[in-house]
Chains A and B, each alone.
Chain A
Amino acid sequence: MIYAIASGKGGTGKTTVTASLAVLWDRPVMAVDLDVEEPNLHLFLHPELTGEEPALMEVPVVDTARCTLCGQCAAFCQFKALSVMGKTLLIFPEMCHGCGGCQLVCPEKALSPGGRELGQIVSGHFRTDHVGSGRPEDAPFLMGRLRVGEAMSPPLMRQVKARLPESGAADILIDSPPGVSCPAVNAVMDADVIVLVTEPTPFGLHDFRLAVEAFRPLGKPLGAVINRAGIGDTSVQDFCRAEGIPVWAQIPFNRAVAEAYSRGEVVARAVPELRAVMLALMAQMQGAAAASKKQEADHA
């Protein structure tokens, strides 16, 4: 099962929740940071990183000896990555979305695939809390890290997702990017269950509504986690009740959580009462996944 931990608003606690779930998860688990523009899950899980490789996107390279400046490639490209100016075919690799269409339409076979570095795919493993339980104590960790200056994160995210094991032997927890635009949708679209972390403030409610609007059409089980419960107002709870969105956990506002976070600790380890909250959340998530799987089976 794949669980995406997402949010409309940034800074609500996605990574805090993901890190706590990852160390407590009572089944084989893999932690994945898909917030490739600013990955930070590793700052809390402190994984031992064992692999790093560049992720490349296919961009065209021209063989000037073959190019006749016919301009068919430039006319095809919707992103202005190619342009015939004077006696030159200009290629702007940073504009390219990697569709490969220019190479297909070139009648002279003058374009070949080159690579633009999108970022890195980093892998390793982190220590769970299942020490001495007979289960593996270490779990795999994976993250994408966008190159500084690169504008497109979904292509890198797709390459990270291509590394996810297909077998379903381990549950996968995805720390998603915030918002409701392409990166956020890319992170949640392959998930079996979506967890939306929010906070009980007007800003939290505003962006939570956007996230519900964006992700509910995907038709996946979706539940809310209200972080910093006790501040603000009850409008998020009221909205969830009205919309029939289950609230899977409320994380009380607590200075000790902020202190543990600032030290780069997993809050479920550092703050005893949070351990119970996160374990209850885990049970809710697993229950939603099981119910949805059963529903699918019944329909089949």
Chain B
Amino acid sequence: MTGIIAVTSEGPGMESMVDPRFGRAAGFVVVDLATMAVSYVDNGGSQAMAQGAGIQAAENVARAGAGVILSGFVGPKAFQALAAGGIQVIQDVEGMTVGQAVDKYKRGELTTADAPNAPAGGHKG
């Protein structure tokens, strides 16, 4: 399996929990599926923004070179930005570790979303 995927994460490693928020996620665990090399992108700057966190986070994911993002809830502007960047969005991923999410993805158990699943301005659920 090849490609680079990013997972919104509460911490820097495969054992960290998936952060269900996209725009205001703590960071992204970035996995190169060819080599299973793992790196971490901090998203703290987006967390501190008054507005536009989702757009900023999408830029961060694009800069990391990821073609797929796994997250819990993605809002409309973030979704539009990710789509423009050619990044596939897989949402409703939560309550598991980053490693478990990556395994599910590799087994083909996760499907790509064609629409955002959260309102603008942050998921309130």
Contacts and interface: CB of A to CB of B under 8 A. Distances in A.
Contacts of A83: 55, 58-59, 81
Interface stretch (A87-95, A159-167, A174-182, A188-196): A87-95
20 contacts: A79-B52, A80-B51, A80-B52, A80-B55, A80-B56, A83-B55, A83-B58, A85-B58, A85-B62, A85-B81, A85-B82, A85-B84, A85-B85, A86-B84, A86-B86, A90-B80, A90-B84, A92-B55, A92-B77, A95-B55
Given A85-B59, A86-B62, A95 B84 contact: no
Contacts of B84: 85-86, 88, 90
Nearest to A88: B84
Contacts of A88: 84
B115 interface: no
Interface in B79-97: 80-82, 84-86
Contacts of B81: 83, 85, 90
Nearest to A81: B52
Nearest to B49: A80
Contacts of A90: 55, 80-81, 84
Interface residues of A, number: 10
Interface string A199-221: 00000000000000000000000
A96 to B, nearest CB: 11
Given A83-B58, A88-B84, 8 more contacts: A79-B52, A83-B81, A85-B59, A85-B81, A86-B85, A92-B77, A95-B55, A95-B77
Given A85-B85, A86-B85, A86-B86, A79 B51 contact: yes
Specify which of A79, A88, A92 lies most central, judged by the most chain B CB atoms within 10 Å of its CB: A92
| CB-based closest 7 A-B pairs | A80-B52, A85-B85, A85-B84, A88-B84, A80-B55, A86-B85, A83-B55
A92 B52 CA distance: 9
